[in-house]
Structure 1
Amino acid sequence: MWALISAGTALAVLLGVAGQVWGQPPADPSIPGPAPTTTRPVSTPTAVETPPPSSPSPSPSPTPPPPAPTREGWQLPERDWEALPPPAPQNDLWTVLQAEELIGEPAPILSTCPAVQKVTSETEYQALVLQQWHCVHRAWVPLFQLKGWSTVEPPVEFYPGTGAPSECGYLEAPAFYCSAGMGTVHFGAGHLEMAMDWDLSINEMVNHEYSHHVQSLAGITTAKMQLVQSDEIERRAELQATCWSATMTRNSEIVDFDENNWDSWQQRLETMTIDGIHGSRESILFWGTRGLYAQTLGDCNTWAVGAERVS
């Protein structure tokens, strides 16, 4: 997500056709907060200066297999995906960031989500956002239970205008996720406008913001905030959320992902604002498309690749 945070907090992230935003910790008190997603603190006393992963030779990790046909028989365009490097952490923080325990986990299947559609009113918009958020949360709960993570669903708040106060400070963005306390996700008027123009907007944005919740539960957010902050570190987090959002979209039983949706998704990736934090056009297209083909959460491991893949 893109977001402008008041003094004392740095930038939060957002992403969108016309400036969309993208961008919670478990109940376990051992995981510190707060941290607005993709926000860089002014200072990080415990920052560890660690070089990013190099570009190792391709691992034997399986390339995502060809997608199964949709209900209408349409398949994603055939494409050979390179295998991502295996985790090669340089220290404990990078062990957490590379989330080896998630690599082989299958991407969750979303069922009973609301039908994708453009909205015509604020009331309809809020109802569909809530339904999508509840649906995504239900899909992830079995994995959270397996890992022993919190299954508490973060609350959803709506705000008018361009920004809103939060436990992470005042943020200006169409939507943002704050990991303070039990975590909260916020959706504003800017995203309402987007949802009136694109039928997959609610699906994409909710999935993306929820991906930051998953990062928080996995300890990725906390570990990220302990590194010396840089745009590259933020890009790794944002591009992973972009990839997981695509995976959830493809894995939704409600989204009949056909050629029209493929074209629409690609156009979205082609028109996202380039801000230095969400990735270059090449990186956005790579991860935003790779996610559609992903079969496991590890297929979106932006923390294991070299810097050139998260430019």
Structure 2
Amino acid sequence: MAVVLAGALVAAGLALLHPTVRPAEVPPSAPPTPSVEPWRLPPVSWDPLPEPDPTSPLFAAQSAAINDVVPVALTGCPAPARVREVGEWQAAVQAQWHCVHAGWRPVLVEFGLSTLEPAVHFFVGDGSDSECGHVDAPAFYCAVGTGSVHFGDGHLAQAQSWDLAVAEMVTHEYGHHLQALFGITANRLVARGGLQLERRSELQAVCWSAAMTRRNDAVTFDQAAYDGWIARLDRMREDRAHGTRASLRYWGTRGLYAETMGDCNTWVVESDAVR
């Protein structure tokens, strides 16, 4: 009996020395936050463009060296915003033009092309005098000399109602500057084709504008921006020099998906693709 009691006391002592440890209560974990998928362009299967044709009078434009260039990433450009008055609009255009040129400068250096920044001019009304003569257009690029770009105040109303108006307009005209530097404009001027060649030039600039705007890190390209872009294509000037609504929408949308500048090669397609 004494032995049993002693054993019981020893067991009790061990229990005091080593009390039973209950597992700590773990608070219930919060449900995982659902991941937000980044916005993506609507899936589209674009037909590949034809290869340049060495026998074509447009071969120089078709095979321009810029075709293999990836659209540059524009960094540090002004954030898109609606403008309120003409001074603010002009400042926004100047800043955007300077930023786009700065983005392309390394490419121009790589190809041994002029890096001089074309002068920016503004005019009132439907047209303006320039080194290319008098031009009636809302905005235009003149390739004479080192190039110049001219913006009419008719774009002010658009910039007051759409935050991407300045970016779209500037990149479009800069596209014409790239055409001049890479020999596309020179080929167009000596080839025969009349307004069809003008449409090829304009539609390529529309396409390149989309490619550049899509890669502008100041632009949050989401569904609203996409819808605004398509709406702009549906309002864009439609005539024999700029193309039909269908052509404007095709090339202006295709540019958003462009992986190289050659994905906007309007010079290789049949005439019915640039109506």
TM-score, scaled relative to structure 1: 0.74
After superposition, the CA RMSD in angstroms is 1.5
1:161, distance to aligned residue in structure 2 (A):
2.6
For residue 195 of structure 1, give the secondary structure of its aligned residue in structure 2: helix
- Counterparts of residues 92-241 of structure 1 (less than 5 Å): 93-241=57-205
Distance 2:98 2:60 in 1: 27
- 2:228 and 2:260 map into 1 onto residues whose CA distance is 24
Q: If the length of structure 2 is used for normalisation, what is the TM-score?
A: 0.84
Q: Counterparts of 1:170 and 1:101 in 2: how far apart (Å)?
A: 31
- Report if the CA contact (8 A) 2:198-2:242 is conserved: yes
Q: Give the CA deviation at 1:123.
A: 1.2
Q: Distance in 1 between matches of 2:54 and 2:244?
A: 25
2 CA distance for matches of 1:223 and 1:79? 32
Q: Equivalent residue for 1:79?
A: 44
* Residue type at the aligned position of 2:225: N
**3-state SS of the aligned residue for 1:177?**
strand
**Structure 1 segments unaligned to the other structure (5+ residues):** 1-70
Equivalent residue number for residue 300 of structure 1? 264
Distance, in Å, in 2 between the alignment partners of 1:181 and 1:100 is 21
Unaligned stretches of 5+ residues in structure 2: 1-35
Whole-angstrom CA distance in 1 between matches of 2:125 and 2:69: 39
How many correspondences in the alignment? 240
What code does the residue aligned with 1:130 have? Answer: Q
SS in 2 for 1:167: coil
Which amino acid is 1:218 matched to?
Answer: F
Moved over 3 A (4+): none
Cα pair distance change 1:161/1:280, threshold 3 Å: closer
> Aligned partners of 1:237, 1:202: CA distance in 2, in Å?
20
Q: Distance in 1 between matches of 2:113 and 2:221?
A: 31
The Cα of 1:217 is off from its aligned counterpart by 0.2
Counterpart amino acid of 2:168? E
1:103 positional shift: 2.2
CA offsets, 1:3-48, max 9 Å, x none?
Answer: xxxxxxxxxxxxxxxxxxxxxxxxxxxxxxxxxxxxxxxxxxxxxx
Larger helix share, 1 or 2:
2
After superposition, the C-alpha distances for 1:56-106 in whole angstroms (9 at most, x for unaligned) are: xxxxxxxxxxxxxxx981110011111111111325x52311134222211
